[in-house]
Amino acid sequence: MNDRAPLGGRIGTPRRTSFARRDVNLALFGALVSGVVVAFAILLLVLARVDPEQGRRVRGAVLDIISPLVAVAAAPVKAARAVIDRVGEHLTTVERNRALEAEIRAARAAAARAAALEAEVARLEALLKLRRPERRLVAAGVASASAATGSVRAATLSVGARDGVAPRMPVIAPQGLAGRVTDVGLTASRMMLLTDPNSRVPVKVERLGWTGIAQGTGGPELLFQHDPQPGGDTLAVGDRLVTSGDGGLFPPDVPVAVITDTAASPPRARPFVRAAALGPVMVEAPWLPPADPVPVPPAPDEADLGAPSPPATGPAPAATATPAATATPAGARR
């Protein structure tokens, strides 16, 4: 039985698809263009051989016609190249920005280290200004890890018995008096801060010369215990308290606190040394006030001891001279 051909088609001939026809048409068009180009090239060669002048004119006309076409065809290439250059510049800029950001971070870190070193040098210079030749330095260390357990205010020192530290030694920070040593280990020790309730420091008002006791409260302030002073002078906010040297433990004239409240009874003062920023400290030997000099009588002159006594001008005494009286002087015997 014979198959019937599809409606509208021819019997015995296969039907071509649109894609196949398009490929064939493109191939024919390409062959035609190639043939035209080859024929035109041959024509130009022949014309150049036969009539060179006419060949030059034809070549010029061809260039005038082809130049816009070449420019149009080259436009996408230029645009693509520009896009590639922009992308390359962007990637290069990103890399440079990253390198600059890394340099900025490194510069900031170096600046922070320099600022920290500058602050450390300033603290050490301030600490050295508090040194006095009449006081004996035992050790220099770092105070850190301040503790507040209940009302106890203490800190840890990086020096101990191996460095010569002993209990009751005063601890001096760059800002002033920090406290005193309480417990000592081999390589570390513990100090009581001024704000500890058990802390008592003999002080005096630098402006007025009043003496008293700076007592810790367990908080951030001190109490200034002092006796009523006669006269018209009064304590004022901002007066500095320094150690008086009384009692023999703390050396004199070390800054302790500044008066902040005179209306309270007793007045309140704020320590110069903050527990949160101790840093480098000096541990000194307990202060011993110099003893009062004992007057020493002048030594007798040996020449005066050996000189003969002057002759008597009056009558001799009636009493009989004893053997001791008639003995020669000790200087004469020598």
Read off the pLDDT of residues 124-174 as tens digits, 9 standing for 90 and up. Answer: 777 676 777 778 889 988 888 777 676 778 899 999 999 999 999 999 998
Helix (H, G, I), strand (E, B) or coil at 18: helix
Dihedrals phi, psi of 175, to nearest 5 degrees: -85, -15
Read off the pLDDT of residues 30-46 as tens digits, 9 standing for 90 and up. Answer: 788 778 777 777 877 77
Question: Mean pLDDT across the chain, nearest whole number?
Answer: 78
Rounded CA gap, 93 and 71, in Å?
A: 31
Q: What residue type is assigned to position 184 of the chain?
A: V
| pLDDT number for residue 126 | 72
Read off the pLDDT of residues 60-119 as tens digits, 9 standing for 90 and up. Answer: 777 777 777 777 777 787 888 888 888 888 888 888 888 889 999 999 998 888 888 887
Q: Please classify residue 241 by burial: count the beta carbons closer than 10 Å to its beta carbon, then call 0-12 exposed, 13-18 middle and 19+ buried.
A: buried
